[in-house]
Amino acid sequence: FSDPFLNRRRANDFIQADSRLRAITQERIRERSKATQEHQRELCEDYYPCEIYAYRHGYAAAYKHYFGRRRTK
């Protein structure tokens, strides 16, 4: 056997996809696309006044207070 390359069918005979690797890949995809609330909470945790406000009023209210849309005239 001197040829280091195998055809696809022959390669798939002895290399099987591991289901754990598939699960890890799916988890990484979920990590990239975070829920809106989680993203807002992380922004609020990074800004100290927002975090303090969140302890009293909750993260949704704190995010709205510090990062909500501001009305302009």
For residues 47-67, one letter each, b for 16 or more C-beta atoms within 10 angstroms of the residue's C-beta and e for the rest, the string is eeebeebbeeeebeebbeeee
Contact 45, 51 (CB under 8 A): yes
The pLDDT value given to residue 27: 78
Predicted confidence at residue 22, as pLDDT, reads: 75
pLDDT bracket for residue 26 (50, 70, 90): confident
Please provide the average confidence, as pLDDT, over all residues in the chain. Answer: 79
Q: Per the structure block, which two tokens stand in for 38?
A: 């989680």
Which residues have CB under 8 Å from 34's CB, separation 6+? Answer: 42
